[in-house]
């Protein structure tokens, strides 16, 4: 890989990680603070386990992307 490709890959990786975190937190905040939650339908809105699973999924896919980028980085231009 060329130097500019490595720098661009690191920058894009950081941006994707930050955006994943911000978007996930925004979705969680909007969903939990929704005005439709009332005392009578509160059990239907118990979704914390689903949000935890989604957060783990984001982290696993991000780590997989980092691992693949490192593999590509180490391979370089060798054939």
Spell out the residues 6+ positions from residue 21 whose beta carbon is closer than 8 angstroms to its own: 58
In tens, the pLDDT along 27-47 reads: 777 776 665 666 776 666 667
Evaluate whether 68 touches 1 at the Cβ level (below 8 Å). no
The pTM assigned to this predicted structure is 0.65
In tens, the pLDDT along 63-77 reads: 998 898 888 888 866
For the chain, count helices (H), then strands (E): 2, 0
Section 44-61 average pLDDT = 79
Q: Where are the domains of the chain?
A: 3-75
């Amino acid at each position: 890989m060329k130097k500019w490709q490595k720098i661009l890959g690191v920058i894009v990786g950081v941006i994707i990680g930050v955006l994943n975190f911000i978007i996930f937190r925004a979705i969680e905040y909007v969903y939990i603070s929704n005005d439709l939650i009332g005392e009578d339908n509160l059990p239907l809105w118990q979704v914390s386990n689903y949000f935890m699973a989604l957060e783990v999924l984001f982290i696993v896919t991000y780590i997989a992307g980092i691992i693949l980028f490192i593999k590509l980085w180490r391979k370089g231009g060798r054939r």
